[in-house]
Amino acid sequence: MKKSILIIEDHDSIRKLLSVFLSKDYEVVAQKDGLEGISWLGKGNFPDLILLDMEMPRLDGVSFLKNLRMSGFFGEIPIVVISGTDDERSIFQCQQLGIEHFFNKPFNPLVLQEKITNILS
Amino acid sequence: MNLTLPKRLVRQTSEVLLLGFGNGVEEFLSSNFPPPTQMKFWEMNNSFSAYQWLEERAARGRNNLPDAIIVNLGPLRQENYLFLENLKRHPRLRLIPVIGIAFKKSEMPAKKSAIQQGLDDGYIAPVDWRRLENRMQFLIKYKATTYFDEFAQNETADIVKIPFWKRSFDVLVASLAILTLSPVFALIALLVKLESKGPVVYASRRVGTGYKVFYFLKFRSMYQDADKRLAELSHLNKYNSDDKNGALFLKFDNDPRITKVGKFIRKTSLDELPQLFNVLKGDMSIVGNRPLPLYEAEQLTRDEWARRFLAPAGITGLWQVAKGGKDNMTVEERVGLDVEYARKGSFSLDFQILLKTLPAMLQRGE
């Protein structure tokens, strides 16, 4: 069975690109911001990995991450961040909360694919 | 979705109903951080009377309800699941966050079924209070507002589907062109082969629609070891400037790596002819965004540019036929045209681009 990935990204172009690019190898679901992501998970969906953007309306990446890591059910899901900015504060915050990798846009989708393969194997 | 919170949720004190714990919160919290004293805990042990109590309070208005419910998944297991089932059916009570606590791993149901049974989250004791409280506060804030959310499960399917008319046109034109131009193909192949050692066709990895990597075909216009010499020549790069996007694209004015035949077929764009086979194969279309080398493509995965990859890849496109010649455009202008094509792509736009392609090629050849 294909492993599943949840993409949380507010920009249409990147979200769709990631969805199309990854859907060859994975079951992909995409949501438009952190709150949608949390809400979708809350319905009982457990993806094998989450790709997370940082700057988003309603619930940003760091708040999403914070919340998820507090959860007993969802706290262990591996997360890869793809951020529009690489300010040290948010990198540090993410690492404190536990992420697998921090990508900065522009990113190389082929490297991302390789990272995901490694994490999920 | 409206995120304005009911007043009551913003207040300082929270009320939490504990169901099935003989010793209150002490029973499942790790001792390091006790809950603040302004927190009110209602302790109940019988799930039937707990439900009755909640129902009565719900009837008196939502301000009388606890903010969250914490349920012991251990000893009273069966009874408590019935309690959860009843909560789920109640129009108001189902919006209260419910957290389950198990004392052994074996008491915790599989996560997915736990959620279906009505739990929003679950922990194995002992639990750190700060962790529990953080999660609880979040659920209190958002459960009611997100409860009715519905989700489109899959938006990927249609994103980069090439329309039927476009694919038919591609197959038709590409096959006709290959047939009629076969003498030209043969002649160029012969010339390339005669002038220098190496294969007739040069295949390089390029990024197409949906960031799909494929082998992009051209008649070879360079000497065989050209790629190795690229690094040595980077100081001649036309785009090499202080501009931060400058190094994205590599172009040389008078490139010593190019053969004589190569210079001619490049000038006339005849080197692109083998891409008709890429079109037949389905890697790309006649009209679309230029497939990019890997090192160029990976620079464009930014919020404002990534859209270019959602359009079909093509032999000719907006920037090839742009006024003023494609060679004098900045990177931003070129990618801008790609994004424009991704936005507007249509039959009539494709047709216009095709009409302008031949004049643009001739102009370039001069």
**pLDDT single digits (tens) B128-176:** 888 898 899 889 888 888 877 777 666 665 667 788 999 999 999 999 9
What is the C-alpha separation between B327 and B323, in angstroms, rounded?
11
B325 Cβ contact list (under 8 Å, min separation 6): B363, B364
pLDDT at A28: 93
pLDDT tens, residue by residue, B224-254? 876 666 666 665 665 554 444 444 455 666 6
Burial status of residue B294 (CB atoms within 10 A of its CB: 0-12, 13-18, 19 or more): middle
pLDDT of B2 above 60: no
pTM of the model: 0.85
pLDDT at B8: 45
Burial status of residue B54 (CB atoms within 10 A of its CB: 0-12, 13-18, 19 or more): buried
Q: Which residues of A touch B116 (CB under 8 A)?
A: 44
Is B134's CB within 8 Å of A17's CB? no
What is the C-alpha separation between B91 and B87, in angstroms, rounded?
8
Which three-class secondary structure state does DSSP give residue A67? helix
Is the distance from CB of A4 to CB of A28 less than 8 angstroms?
A: yes
Report the gap between the CA of A27 and the closest CA in chain B (Å).
9
Average pLDDT, chain B: 83
Average pLDDT, chain A: 93
Q: Which residues of A touch B303 (CB under 8 A)?
A: 11, 13-14, 84, 105
User: What is the total residue count of chain B?
Assistant: 366
Cis peptide leading into residue A106 (ω within 30°): yes
What is the C-alpha separation between A109 and B247, in angstroms, rounded?
19
pLDDT of A50 above 80: yes
What is the C-alpha separation between B13 and B15, in angstroms, rounded?
7
User: How many angstroms separate the Cα of B65 from the Cα of each of A4, A85, B52, B55, B365?
Assistant: 38, 43, 12, 9, 79
What order do you get walking across the sheet with A4-8 strand by strand?
Answer: A27-31, A4-8, A49-52, A79-83, A101-104
pLDDT at B9: 45
What is the C-alpha separation between B119 and B109, in angstroms, rounded?
10
pLDDT of B342 above 80: yes
Half-sphere exposure of A55 (CA within 13 A, CB side): 9
Q: Please calculate the CA angle B300-B257-B207 and round it to the nearest 5 degrees.
A: 25
Provide mean pLDDT across the span B325-337.
80
> Quick count: other Cβ atoms within 10 Å of Cβ B164?
8
Residue type, B39: M
ipTM field:
0.91
Is A67's CB within 8 Å of B306's CB? no
pLDDT at B337: 92
> What does DSSP say about strands B292-293 and B68-72: parallel, antiparallel, or unpaired?
unpaired
**Best residue in A11, A13, A111 for a mutation probing chain B (most B CBs within 10 Å):** A13
pLDDT at B231: 61
**Best residue in A10, A15, A17, A76 for a mutation probing chain B (most B CBs within 10 Å):** A17
Half-sphere exposure of B360 (CA within 13 A, CB side): 19
